[in-house]
Amino acid sequence: MIALLDTHSFLWAIATPEKLSAKVRKIIVDPTHEIHISTISFWEISLKFALGKLDLVGCMPEDLIVVAQDMGLGITSPTPNESATFHHLPKRAHKDPFDRMLIWQCLQRQWAFISKDDALSDYEALGLTTLW
């Protein structure tokens, strides 16, 4: 399976893994699964850190790149096509632009999305597979 971590899932995996479901913890550490973090999440973390909406204990946002690599995560960026076609994602209940881009990446790549976000059910009809 190939999956993309939502930003909160990544942060919880680092700092408070007990917040993740047992299923997700197993998926993340299972070497048969390919788990990714998007550069969109690094951007979201950096922005929220700069605005004082996110506290990181003992590190800066840029340190999280090495943390992700040490966890064995793939680091992926939106392709030019994903960026240019993002306007095709239907406007549903979810308003967060970071999450919407992560959703779009998953839909375009047919990857599962590891997230506890309850607002994702609207996108399952479009083919989004969520894991929690």
Q: Please report the domains of the chain, with CATH numbers, ordered by start residue.
A: 2-131 (3.40.50.1010)
Return phi, psi of residue 131, to 5°.
-125, 130
- What number is the average pLDDT over the span 4-28? 96
State pLDDT tens for residues 73-125: 999 999 999 999 999 998 876 788 999 999 999 999 999 999 999 888 889 88
Whole-number mean pLDDT of the chain? 95
57 — pLDDT class (breaks 50, 70, 90)? confident
Q: Which amino acid appears at position 119 of this protein? A: A
Quick one: pLDDT at residue 109?
Answer: 98
Quick one: pLDDT at residue 74?
Answer: 98
Q: State the virtual CA torsion across 10, 106, 27, 21 in degrees, nearest 10.
A: 60
